[in-house]
């Protein structure tokens, strides 16, 4: 399952060099993940079960710049499944030029708020993720 989220670059995303500031890409990637999980988790409420996803690692490779007015497509997909973790591959593409702007890998752990510790993924959820890995 590859999820796509569109983001238009606004003036407040731009730095003094007139391109998107590197820190803003973290926000764009996060928006893409929230939209992905909105669709993926549409019938599952992990929060009611006291479970949360905690980001434990983000690796970003900046490929090209984006500027004011560009429309960026954030593509998000699961890429790896561990016992207590998932890794999501994300790519940001300039919709007009089709240039890859950013590539990122984001790793989450399944976290019990009650235990304050990483826990194994619930089995039903694990099976859904396995089916969604591209």
pLDDT value, residue 55: 94
pLDDT of residue 44: 66
Enumerate the active-site residues.
Answer: 15
pLDDT in tens, 86-133: 999 999 999 999 999 999 999 999 999 899 999 998 888 888 888 888
- Residue 42: pLDDT band with limits 50, 70, 90: low
48-101 residue pLDDT tens: 788 888 999 999 999 999 999 999 999 999 999 999 999 999 999 999 999 999
Query: Which domains are seen in the chain, by residue range?
Result: 3-132 (3.10.129.10)
CB 81 within 8 A of CB 125: no
CA angle 105, 106, 112 (to 5 degrees): 155
In whole angstroms, what is the distance from residue 123 CA to residue 27 CA?
30
Contact 102, 20 (CB under 8 A): no
Q: The whole model's pTM is what?
A: 0.89
10 and 20 in contact (C-beta within 8 Å)?
Answer: no
């Amino acid at each position: 399952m590859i999820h796509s989220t569109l983001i238009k670059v606004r003036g407040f995303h731009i730095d003094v060099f007139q391109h998107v500031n590197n820190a803003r890409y973290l926000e764009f990637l996060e928006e893409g993940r929230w939209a992905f999980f909105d669709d993926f988790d549409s019938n599952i409420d992990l929060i009611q079960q006291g479970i949360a996803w905690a980001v434990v690692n983000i690796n970003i490779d900046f490929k090209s710049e984006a500027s004011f007015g560009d429309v960026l497509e954030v593509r998000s997909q699961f890429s790896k499944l561990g016992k207590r973790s998932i890794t999501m591959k994300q790519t940001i593409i300039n919709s007009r030029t089709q240039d890859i702007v950013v590539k990122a890998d984001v790793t989450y752990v399944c976290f019990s708020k009650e235990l304050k510790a990483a826990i194994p993924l619930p089995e039903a959820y694990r099976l859904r993720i396995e089916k969604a890995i591209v």
